[in-house]
Structure formats: structure tokens, C-alpha cells
Structure 1
Amino acid sequence: MSRLSSTPSPRRHLDVVQVHWRELIDYRTNSRVPVVDGRTFSVAAVAAVSRFRIVPELTTAEDILAKVDAAATIVAQFVAQSALSGAGSMYGTTTGFGGSVPKLQRVLIQGLQAGITLPPPRQESEGDGVPLAVGIRLITPEEWVKAIRMNSLVRGHSGVRLSVIESLGQLLKENIIPCPPLRQTISASGDLGPLAYIAGALTGDNHCLVWDGEGSSRALTTAPLALSRRSLTPLELLPKEGLAIVNGTAPSCAVAACTLHDAHFLLLLSQATTAMSVEVLLGTAESFTPFISEVARPHPGQVEVSMNIRNALSGSKLVQSYDERNATERLRQDRYSLRTAPQWLGPQVEELLSAHHTITIEINSTTDNPIIDVSKGERGNISGGNFQGTSLTVAMEKVRIGLQHVGRIAYAQLVELGSPSMNRGLAPDLAANEPSFDYGQKALDMACAAYLAELSFVANTVSNHVQPAEMHNQSVNSLAMISARYTATAVQLVQMILSNLLLSVCQASDLRAMYAAFFVKLGDNLHDTLSATITPPLPPPEMDRLCAILADQVKASFGETSWLDTKDRFHTMCKPLLADVHTFLVAQALSDMYSFNGHAFHTTLAASLAAAWISNRDTYFRDGSAEELLGHGTQKLYRWVRRGLGLSMRRGIDIDRGTIDLDVSKIYEGIVNGDVNDVLVDVFGGIEMSQ
């Protein structure tokens, strides 16, 4: 039994991501090499080969290589016997293909090269390749072409010689990457079109374009020229080998694996930004208590998301706690984007785990046709439909719909952060300076609306748009590559949305920290102003009680006047305090004993608080940080943005050196490149399930 089927899967998404990430790090640090053995290749191995130019090693296991040789021998013997006797037929070896004419192997490969692509370079000489930037929209990205076809063929079910598999590995080693058209395949008899261009690179097809060269000199050229530059001989394919190469789901599977790699970390990032949103919106951790998800409704994904957010918030000084036994308090439920995050994201966790399992199986499967069971000898040639990529299509649709859910909740959180009616006292548009001159959040909101609209469109299912093809021979076809490509688009859009949200929650975190620093000194301003405007001075107990009452009112009014600039804000927010002072003096039967100069109190306190606010703001702009207010998990993500990427809070157009687009693009780059992945694993790492 293979390792894939005998090893139990980790029960949590976090476990799967941690194992996946550690494996990928091992490959990138050369402490481990992906082995092409048809059994144990993983999503991490695909990511390593596709994105980080890790060259896999072909297995040396004798039982595996022996099966490859045995299958090739069966094909060769059948062809030889058929030639002598004139009897017998083997599909794709001595027969035609579907409705096509019976001119085999090389004719098959060239006949399938029918996509819209770029013309070959005009001159076949060094340096005459097409520049990198030309025609990118027409051809498949390099990372989607690598890694998996070798792993399928080495299973010994395809009848190809070992030299064919070794030649594919040599292309990877020399960094000669074929360039199939981006669109052509319906993923029914596998990805015939893309794989035909890969086969054309092996055989030195003069019309087959490949990437060749290194660094800035890397360019498109023809397969013969690239092979000759590396002293490689074009491969001569024997019977069945052309069909074996072009018949399979490898390209769709490569795209699916790369896309799934990204989706895993986007789901973790969504949980981290949700936790930060809870903090900066002064939400409660009550929504994530174990009883709600682990006892009352124990869906595995919901349980995990609840646990992750709860643990990321541990130690936070911003999260609120409400006690219904206290008569002065009432239950304050957070908005749905916070309160129902486990119920919203939890099902997506489960679907990603399902997709991971499906894609891992597909990576280590035989997907061409016919296939050979070497244990049955001459009778082992079996025709079927393993090339149909529907498993990938459905897995990618699960992932794509899940990504739309991630984008939707992130946009809801972004809108609530910037809206004074919903953000519990934050400045409109998260303005750190004067609101009338700082509304950059509006632009982030509008951009995210565009991203989410497109995301919601591409999240629609592809599989219900199947068209019969190839003279109705391929009457049902999976469209797996199309589904995977749209999922890759969904990944990019979610990366953009979460970049905007992460920039925003860090801005909001700094605002909360800046407000908190201001409130610390609030008591002194109140005490000094009351002492100067109430005669004789109130005794310390009464003064302390009055200051506490006014401080609570100032904090509330501070949030309610966040839309005003400083010159108007403190005058407006201090005016209601006059009534509070009078009410206190009357309630304490002190109004006849003390004189209160209300006008002086109002003007003095407003001026004092305005000056203190400006001083506090300037100080925070110089060296403030929100780290100490955040949870043990969320502060790591904040630290990555502020220290790792070097992005300061948005302070105003007259102060900031950078611009919003440059800042959010830097976060986006860090997400796309995977720089944030270590941070995310650290944010949630080592967390045990609650008992």
C-alpha cells in the first residue's frame, strides 16, 4: 500500500499547512530534495519545483523503475508481434485517436498544437528570442508547466521508456520550459494541447516555443535552438509514447497545486486579519468561546477557526469583556463580520482540506489512456477514462468559492473600519491627522469593491458550461484547466483585498494606541481645569469622582466627534461637560458651597485638550507603536508590516513620504512572494485544541 493511502491525514487545516510549509522550507534550503516516484510527490513538492526552481530527483527505487521498463517492453513486444502477424490492435499505438486519422505519435503531437500562441523568432541565432514582456497574455506561466508529468509517467502504467522521463527531468535541470498557449484545453482526454507543446519541446519541434536563458537574458526561443545550446538531442518517440505524454491532467494539476498552496495561507491570513479587526473595532472574544463551537455546534472547521482567532487574541488589551450581571452593562454583540467569522470561514477550512486531499491523490495518479497493468503481461493494456479531470475541476471550484467567502468577509471588515457609524470611535477613513484632509481609506474601499466584484464573478462554477468537443467524441469534458485558471485569478484578487485590509487594520491599531496614550493624560487636564474653575477647590474625593465621570464622557464624546478637525472637535466635545459638572454639584449638594465658572471651564479645557491631542499625535507619529495593545498572535502580523516591511502608519499628506498605493503594493508583494507565510505559521503555531 502506498504511503499516501496508509498515512492518516492531520485533523486540522493548521496541521496540514504547517507540514506543507516545513516541507517546502526543507526543499528551499536544500536539506531535502523532491523525489519523483509516482507515490509521494506532494503539493509542497510541486510548489518547490514550480516556483523556486528546485530540480527534483528521479527515484532510484528498483521496483518502480522495473515497472517502467516492463510496461515499455509490453508495448514494444505487442508492436513487434502485430507487425509480424498483421493482427491485433492497441489503441494509440496501432490505431488512430477518436475521429482523427491513423498517423501516430509525432503527427499526434503536432496536430494537437492548435492553440493561439506567439510566432517563433525570426532568426534562429543567439539572443534573437522574443523578449519576456511580449505576448505574456497568450502563453501559460512557466510555473504551471513544471513538475507533475514525470511523476505520473514514472508509475509504470504508461508504456514509456525511462529515457522519456529522464528527458523531461533534463528540461527542468536546464531550465528549458515549454510555452503552451494559455487557452486551448478542455481537460477531457487530459490536457492534450498543453502537453503536446511539452512533448514538442522534447522532440525538438521547430514551431514549439520554450523559455531559455537566465535572468535578464531569459527569452522565448524555439525548442531546437534551446536544445542545441545545451547539447541535448531531440527525443525520438516510440509507439505509445507520444500519446502517453499528451494524455493526462498534469498541467491542470500543476495549476491546482500552486493555487492551493496560495489559498492555504490566504485562509490563515484571513483569520489573522479577522482577529485584528476584532481588536481595533473593540469587539469581544465571547464569540470565540469554546462552548459555542466545540460543544454547541462542533463542525471541525468552525472549531478550528474559533480556536485560532481566540488564541491570536490572547493577551490583547483592546478586546472587550462584558458582564451581564453588572447593571451598568448590557450585552453588546459585534457585527456579523466579526461575530460569525468561525461559522463563515469554518466551512472553507473544510473544503480546502478536501481539495488538498484530492489534489495530492491526483499528483500521484496515472491519468493517461490506455494504461498498462504489467502484472497481466500482454493482456494488461486497459482503456478507460482516467484522463477526465473532473476531480480537479470540483476541487478548484470548492477552493474558488471559498476564496470568494474570504474576500467577502474581508471587505465587510474593511468597510466597518472606515465608517464612523460602525467603527466604535475610530476616525472616518482611519484618518490619523485632520479628517478633512485625510481620506485615503475611501480609495482602498473603492479598490476592494472592484476586486470583490470581479472575485464574485470568477467564483462562479465552470463545470456547468461544458461543451461537447472533437466531433462529440469528448461529449463530456471537465474544463479542469479553466477552473484552475479562474481559481488562480481568485487567489490574486483575494491577495489584493487582504493587502488592503491588512494595511487598514494596522492603521486602526495605531489609532487605538494613539488614542490610548491621549486618554492616559486626560485626568490631569480635567483636574487642572476643574481646579482653576471651581472655587474653592473641591476636596480630593469629590474631585476624583467628578474627574472619573468627566473622563468617561470625554472618551465617549471623543469617538462621537471623530469626523471633526481638531479646531472644532474639542470645543464641540467639551460643551456637554458643563451640564455634567452642574449635575454633579447639585447631586452632591455642593452647588451652594462652590462657584463654577462654566465659560472658563469650557474654553480652557477645550484649548488644553486640543493642545494635548496635537502634542500626543506628534509624539506618536515619531515613535509610537501598537504592539503592546495587541494579542500575542496579532502583534506578530502588525510587527511584520511595521518593522519587516518598514511601513509607517498613514500620518497625512504633509508628513508621509510614501503613498497608499506603494504601501499596499508592498504588502501585496510580501503576500504573493510568501514572505508573510512564516509569520502566519508563527501567529497560529503550537496551538492545541481545547478540551
Structure 2
Amino acid sequence: MLPPKPTAHTSATLGIWRRLRDLKSREEQIVLDGNNLDIASIIAVARHGAKPTITDDQDIAKQLDLSVNTLSEYLTHNYVVYGVNTGFGGSADTRTSELVDLQTHLLQFIQSGIITAADKDPSNNWEREPSRVMPPSWIRATIVTRANQNLRGHSAIRKCVLDSLLDLLHNDIIPMVPLRGTISASGDLMPMSYIAGAITGNPDVFCQVGKGSKTRVMPASEALQQSGLSASGLGPKEGLGLINGTAPSVAVASMVLYDTQQLALLSQMLTAFSSECLAGNVEWAQPFCHDTRPHPGQSEVATNIRHFLKGSEFVVGLTSRKKTGEGLCQDRYSTRTAPQWVGPYLEDLLLAQEQLEVELNSTSDNPIVDTSDLSEDAEGAVYSGGNFQAASVTSAMDKTRLSIQMIGRMLWSQVTKIINPVTNNGLEANLNASDRENYTMKGIDINMSAYMSELAALAAPVSAHVMSAEMHNQGINSLALISARRTMEAVDLLAHMSACHLFVCCQAADLRANHKRFISSLQNLVADTTPKGALNGLGLSTAQIATLSTTLFPVIEDAWYKANTNCWKDRVTSVVKSVTTPITDFFAATGHECTVSQLMTFKKSFETAVHDLASTMYYPGPVISSAEVSAQLGQGTSQLYDWVRSKINVPLHCGLRDDPLYKAQQGLPTEGKKSVGSWVSTVYESILKGGMMETLMNDLDGYAVSANGAHTNGNGHHANGNSVNGANGNGVKC
């Protein structure tokens, strides 16, 4: 047998999580040097209040000075430098000697996005109009990213200007940046122009200042003054160097990828949970199946699912095999082919992560300053290129969004199988846990289709919609930030679907465990040869009861599982009807005489016995305890179940009697009663912000994964550049 494949995606995801854990605890600090910014640091700054600093490495400081001075020397020869003494884009055939004003002019025409009065005063937005500005977390991520990219010393930007960027973060000043208006061609010019406008103190660039209830929106000039900061002037290329890059795209994309990586892991755990809810035959997860087709992503998914299912009493196929019996002999596609379905997209996500980590530590600007060959006889060089073109980010996001769609399609299919009585292997229709007709999960079934339709609509590549722009100069443009935004929407939809899936699985697991318990007790009742036994009253001997129960119980069990289109009381009726033929056949075969009256009396007593047994196990009687259910689940899936039932206290839903309106109409207390949507919302919030993923990642951290994971932090992709002394300053005030 081939050796186990390295679980590269799991290792990469855990690597980011561990690093973020250390950053959140402040055990590690974020020190920018242009080469080592990683996705965990982006998340720490964007969502957890981490405050990055710039390295005190003097070589990097000198490199920054050197690039500024190299450009200055270059200009003394009256060389033409794009965006420094020329116009911009399709207007680059114009020339100017007003170098400082040109940078202000650049910001002036780029600051053209739409921000409404409601955006500037969210406290008065009682109509809840959709925001036209980016969330603050996106802006924080963008600022740290752009500072790191500019630190590489190829953009002729002084360190004091980059300090001004980080001053915004340290003083909780968040520029308001329009959500729309960039094509990510010459970088994300428009979003970055508002951030540049903030550090330059533009009175018509607005900033959110402070946190929580103390948050205010004010002009950048006022925000800087209030925080004791000075507005930064811009040197001959500093406006262009700040805005002509990929920082907004790669920053948002990094946040998207972080969430996607974890949801991809969750989807594998949910698939394992689905298999348990369906009482599946999971021999498809055996290593042999994947060693014979050794795609690394496929093997990893199977490895993870085996881990999550370890110890499960709800499935067969891992430690035991199902080689005989009735019913479906193999699981349906949405679980059985999950490794083959998800695996390739884990490989895509790893490539997307690599692309983003390279971009975080790259020089994305134009023109760029080369000081690598600087000597006494050389003056350095300035090159016009296209490093602002963010197609690598678009590529990463289009792949990620398609991966999300494929994962969502699998989860959707699994949920429909669990809710549908035709495919859920004996669970009640709509996962009705009560003793009367209810439609408990029918709304979830509809919602999942709505989410899936929207997710599918988002899956198309954004890169196919490029429009020529800016006098046809930007004839090809990456649309990277649009792709990242669309992928952020897709992530949120996948979180919706994951929450619904988990809510459904917990309900189904309760029903499955209860069925197992009931069927076991019913088998004992049928086989009981004492007067308390279910077959008492037929006038049979102990030996005859034992013989009859052996042939009768499979019929009873089959009838119970097939009569699942309504509630458990109806299933009792179906079981009683099912026993007549096998009992009369037994009488005929054995010559035992039984009158019609005796048979009718028996059926009534049998129905009473089955009903009484069921009423001690099914709602409104005492239902099975969460602890008993959890003990039968796999070592991974039990943690999902325990989180929902015990940590966030989402209970088994018993239909109409659990509805707050119904309780109120009956004059009964409504405390603790919520709509299905409110319970699912609790699960959704827990997935995104409530600690569920943290708990699951902690568990996975204890699960031995291969050291050959694919996690990188950008190291090795770039050199720091030569460290050559150079004078600081270009005469412009910071």
C-alpha cells in the first residue's frame, strides 16, 4: 500500500490559524519589512486590532532613501519618467515641471467614487440603505498591505510617508473608501487615492474615527488634527507610488481566502456528519480507493473524513463492512464522491494562497526604481512596467469562488438528501421530531436552493467581463477587486449554507440516535416471551414466539423505516398493519389456530405496546439526551454536535410546539422558543464570529498532519535589495 498522502491543505490552513492565534495573543508582533507579510497578519490587523510597525532595520531604511534619491538624480538629467513629469495613462504624452502639484492632481481626478450622506452618518441611516463604502476591516487590511509593498524600496517613497499610513491604524482612523469604481488595472487607483487623501489631510476625504459607540465620521484634516498627526506632503512620485498597486485587491482576497480555507475544512466535517445522519456505508473513504487514484487533494479529504468519523456508531465501512442486507448498497454521490469532488479544489485553494502570499510581498507599482546596479559610475534606472496588473489576484479569486460554488453544491445536495424521506434512510420527512404533522425543515430546504442559485450565479469568472478603459490605454484590466468582492459574497453564502447544513445534521443525528434506540427496544419487545412481550396474546409457546419474532422483526423494522412521510404516530400504525401477513403465514405454516377475533384483539394490544414504547422515547415524551447522541458520533463530528447543542444551546426542534407564535396563541410561555431562522442565525454567527471554528481548529491542531504541508509566508520569493547609503528627503514635508 502507498504511504499516506500529506494533508497539504489542512496543514496550510492550520499554519495560518496558528500564526493568527499567536498574533491575537500578542505573543508575536507584526513587523513589516517588505518580505514577510502573511495572510494571518492581514487578518490580525483587519479584524483583531493588531497594530503593525515598520522594521528598524537600517538597511531597509537606507534602501527607501536610496530609491528616492535615485529618482531625484534621474530627474536632474531631464529624463522622462511616467507619472512624475508626464501625464497619466492615455494622457502620458503631456509633460510638466510642476512635479509636486502633479501628484495632487493625480489624487484629484482619481478621487471620483460615490459616497453618500447616509454612508457618512450611519447613525441616521434608519432606512438601512446598502453601504457604498468598504467595511473598515478591508481598509485596515489594505493599509498594512500597501505599507509592506512600498517598503521594498522600489517606489521612491520616503519612510515618513509609510509611517503616516500606519499612523492611521494606530489612531483608529479609517478612511471611507468607495466600494465600487476600480478595475484593478493600474492597480486599485480609486480606493488607494482615498487612503492617500487621508494622510495628506484632504478636507473632503472622510474618515471613521474611534470605535464602538464613540465612533465619529469627520474630514481627514480634522481626524489628523484631533489625533495630533500632521498631514503628509507628497514628493515627485509618492502619490503615484501609494495608489498604483494591488494592495486593496490582495488585502481583501487574503481575507476571503482565510475564511474559505476554514469553510473548506468544515465542509469535510459536515460531509462526515451527513454520512452519519444517513447511516451511510463509508467504505468509500478507505485508503485503497484513493491510493489507486492518488490525487493529493482527494486523498486528503478521505483522510480527514476518516479522522472525523473515527469511533462513529452510525456508519459502517471503516471498521466493519456491509456485505449483505436490503436497501441501498452504496452511498449516494454527494457523500460517496466527496473526496473526488472537493479534493481538486483544495489544490486550487493552495495555489490561490501561494499567489496571494507572493503578491503581499511584491512590488506592485509603475514606474519602479532599480538601484541594484548602482555604483559610482551608474545612476540607477527607472523602468515602466506593469506590476500593478492584478491578474494573479483575479486568478486566485476566480479559482476560490469556483471552489466555494463546488463545495456549496455538495452541501446543498447532502441537505436535500437528509430532509427528503425518500433518500434519508428512514428519518421522518422534513426531520419532523413531533407526534403530529409538521414541516420543520421545509423552509431550510427552500433556503438552501435559494443560496445555491445565488452562489452558482456568482461562480462565473469575473475576468471574462473586462472592458477597455481610460482612452483604451487600459485595454486589459484584471478586475481583481471586483472578483475579490464577489468571492466575499460567495464566502458569506457558503457560511449560510454551512449553518443550515449543521442545523439540519444535528436534528437528523437526534432522530437517527432515537430511531436506533427505539428499534433496539422494539426488537427486545417483540422477542420478549413473557406476558409483557408484544407477541403475547397469540397463544404461542415460548419457542414459537422466539421463532416468529426472528422472521417478524425484519418486517417490522422495514415498515418503520418506509413509513417516514409524516410523524412517529403514523409509523406505529404502519408497523401494526405490516405484521398481519407474516403472522397469518406463520400460523398457516405451523398449523397454529387463531380466530379472527383473537387476531384483532392481538393487533390492538400490539399497537398499544408499540405506541407506549414509542411515547417514552419520542416527543412530547422525553427525547434522547444530547450526551447519548454525542457518544455515538465520530470524534470530529461529535464536536460539531456538542458545540450546537451545548455551547450555543440550539435544541432539537419539535415543530409547531416550538414556535413562539403558537405558544403565545395557546397562552403558554414563549421563553426559549424561537423561529427556525433565529436558531440557524445563531449557528451562522457562531461559525463566523462565535468561536466554533476556533474550537474545531484547536481539535485539528491536535490531529497529526504531515509536516509536508504547503504553507508559506512569502519567504524566499523576494530579496530585500541592496543596502546602500543614501541621503534622505526630497524637500517635501511629511
TM-score, length basis structure 2: 0.86
- Partner residue of 2:235? 238
1:249 to 238, 246, 250: 246
Q: CA deviation at 1:219?
A: 3.1
Unaligned runs of at least 5 residues, structure 2: 1-5, 660-672, 708-734
- Partner residue of 2:506? 506
Q: CA deviation at 1:167?
A: 0.6
- What SS does structure 1 have at the residue aligned with 2:217? strand
Q: In structure 2, do the counterparts of structure 1 residues 246 and 311 end up closer, same or farther at CA, with 3 Å as the change threshold?
A: same
- What SS does structure 2 have at the residue aligned with 1:221? strand
Q: Following the alignment from structure 1 to structure 2, what is the Cα–Cα distance between the partners of residues 424 and 463? A: 43
Q: In structure 2, do the counterparts of structure 1 residues 235 and 334 end up closer, same or farther at CA, with 3 Å as the change threshold?
A: same
- Partner residue of 1:465? 465
TM-score, length basis structure 1: 0.92
Q: How big is each residue's C-alpha offset from its partner over 1:486-530, in whole Å with a ceiling of 9 and x where there is no partner? A: 000100111111111110001000001111222232134323345
Q: How big is each residue's C-alpha offset from its partner over 1:177-198, in whole Å with a ceiling of 9 and x where there is no partner? A: 1111100100011000001001
- Partner residue of 2:337? 340
2:89 is the alignment partner of 1:98: yes
2:435 touches 2:618 (CA, 8 Å); kept in 1? Answer: no
2:718 is the alignment partner of 1:681: no
Q: CA deviation at 1:321?
A: 4.0
Q: Following the alignment from structure 2 to structure 1, what is the Cα–Cα distance between the partners of residues 429 and 498? A: 20
Q: CA deviation at 1:129?
A: 8.5
Q: CA deviation at 1:206?
A: 1.0
1:138-217 aligned within 5 A:
138-146=132-140, 147-217=144-214
- What SS does structure 1 have at the residue aligned with 2:542? coil
1:20 touches 1:44 (CA, 8 Å); kept in 2? Answer: yes
Q: CA deviation at 1:578?
A: 2.3
- What SS does structure 2 have at the residue aligned with 1:196? helix
1:552-563 aligned within 5 A:
552-563=554-565
Q: CA deviation at 1:545?
A: 3.9
Give the letter for the 1:514 counterpart: N
Q: CA deviation at 1:68?
A: 1.2
1:178-577 aligned within 5 A:
178-293=175-290, 295-321=291-317, 328=325, 332-377=329-374, 378-434=379-435, 436=437, 438-526=438-526, 527=528, 528-530=532-534, 532-539=536-543, 542-577=544-579
Q: Following the alignment from structure 1 to structure 2, what is the Cα–Cα distance between the partners of residues 509 and 331? A: 19
Q: How big is each residue's C-alpha offset from its partner over 1:333-376, in whole Å with a ceiling of 9 and x where there is no partner? A: 11110111111111110110010000000001110111112223
Q: Following the alignment from structure 1 to structure 2, what is the Cα–Cα distance between the partners of residues 553 and 687? A: 45
Give the letter for the 1:648 counterpart: P
- Partner residue of 1:646? 649
Q: CA deviation at 1:311?
A: 1.4
Q: CA deviation at 1:119?
A: 4.9
Q: Following the alignment from structure 2 to structure 1, what is the Cα–Cα distance between the partners of residues 338 and 637? A: 16
2:10 touches 2:705 (CA, 8 Å); kept in 1? Answer: no
2:679 to 644, 648, 663: 663
1:534 touches 1:594 (CA, 8 Å); kept in 2? Answer: no
What number of residue pairs does the alignment pair up? 667
1:53-68 aligned within 5 A:
53-68=49-64
Q: Following the alignment from structure 1 to structure 2, what is the Cα–Cα distance between the partners of residues 674 and 40? A: 29
- What SS does structure 1 have at the residue aligned with 2:208? strand
Q: Following the alignment from structure 1 to structure 2, what is the Cα–Cα distance between the partners of residues 688 and 284? A: 25
Q: Following the alignment from structure 1 to structure 2, what is the Cα–Cα distance between the partners of residues 383 and 490? A: 36
- Partner residue of 1:6? none
Q: Following the alignment from structure 1 to structure 2, what is the Cα–Cα distance between the partners of residues 549 and 183? A: 70
2:119 touches 2:132 (CA, 8 Å); kept in 1? Answer: no
Q: Following the alignment from structure 1 to structure 2, what is the Cα–Cα distance between the partners of residues 263 and 681? A: 14
Give the letter for the 2:607 counterpart: A
Q: Following the alignment from structure 2 to structure 1, what is the Cα–Cα distance between the partners of residues 158 and 324? A: 81
- What SS does structure 2 have at the residue aligned with 1:318? coil
| RMSD across aligned positions (CA) | 2.5
- What SS does structure 1 have at the residue aligned with 2:88? coil
Q: Following the alignment from structure 1 to structure 2, what is the Cα–Cα distance between the partners of residues 289 and 121? A: 54
Q: In structure 2, do the counterparts of structure 1 residues 327 and 659 end up closer, same or farther at CA, with 3 Å as the change threshold?
A: closer
Q: Following the alignment from structure 1 to structure 2, what is the Cα–Cα distance between the partners of residues 325 and 313? A: 16
Q: Following the alignment from structure 1 to structure 2, what is the Cα–Cα distance between the partners of residues 22 and 373? A: 37
Q: In structure 2, do the counterparts of structure 1 residues 99 and 635 end up closer, same or farther at CA, with 3 Å as the change threshold?
A: same
2:42 touches 2:255 (CA, 8 Å); kept in 1? Answer: yes
Q: In structure 2, do the counterparts of structure 1 residues 249 and 15 end up closer, same or farther at CA, with 3 Å as the change threshold?
A: same
Please identify, of 154-163 and 651-660, the stretch whose mean Cα deviation from structure 2 is larger: 651-660
Q: Following the alignment from structure 2 to structure 1, what is the Cα–Cα distance between the partners of residues 474 and 358? A: 24
- Partner residue of 2:112? 114
1:312 touches 1:684 (CA, 8 Å); kept in 2? Answer: no
Identity %: 36
Q: Following the alignment from structure 1 to structure 2, what is the Cα–Cα distance between the partners of residues 249 and 475? A: 18
Q: Following the alignment from structure 2 to structure 1, what is the Cα–Cα distance between the partners of residues 496 and 233? A: 46
Q: CA deviation at 1:552?
A: 2.6
- What SS does structure 2 have at the residue aligned with 1:376? coil
Q: CA deviation at 1:98?
A: 2.1
Unaligned runs of at least 5 residues, structure 1: 1-9, 123-127
Q: CA deviation at 1:531?
A: 5.1
Q: Following the alignment from structure 1 to structure 2, what is the Cα–Cα distance between the partners of residues 199 and 689? A: 44
